[in-house]
Structure 1
Amino acid sequence: RIAFRRDVNATPPSWPRPENSLQAHVEFMVDDLDAAERRIVSLGGRPIETRDAVGPHEERGYSDPAGHSFTVRLVPPTAPKQG
């Protein structure tokens, strides 16, 4: 279970500066990155430049309208075992 609440006194995050940087990083798993990006942008999200991101997974970074970052990661396909 996960819950959210609106904080009317919230200020945009200052990551990586230590003041006002208390936040959690969220990763969403999807099976279609392009469709997810269209939906995110339609809801006010903004792509974050991640061209040089390293790692074993295909993923894209975004920020919500308030500036909080999150990642959308492609779910690796699962193929039936052979043999």
Structure 2
Amino acid sequence: MNRNKLIKTLVSQFEEQLSYLPDHKLEELESGKLEISLTQAVGNEAGGATSGAAKKPPTSAGAQPTPVPAVSTKARYV
């Protein structure tokens, strides 16, 4: 496991998901009224998100893609 690469990947995924939040949700997050956590995706089970790995095009021959854990964000008011 490449720790730094994994952290950068998770931060990038988190940043991308946050970019879709409306301004009022970002303000709630900043004020501490809204809490966001990362959780493992559970696939199609119980309506969970599916891993993005199945949607990626195949890589060139001989190249092994680096597995990236699928995560989803969950928001709740505190």
Question: Between Structure 1 and Structure 2, which shows a larger proportion of helix residues?
Answer: 2
Higher relative contact order (CA 8 A, sep 6+): 2
Question: Between Structure 1 and Structure 2, which shows a larger proportion of strand residues?
Answer: 1
Q: TM-score, normalised by structure 2?
A: 0.31
Q: TM-score, normalised by structure 1?
A: 0.30
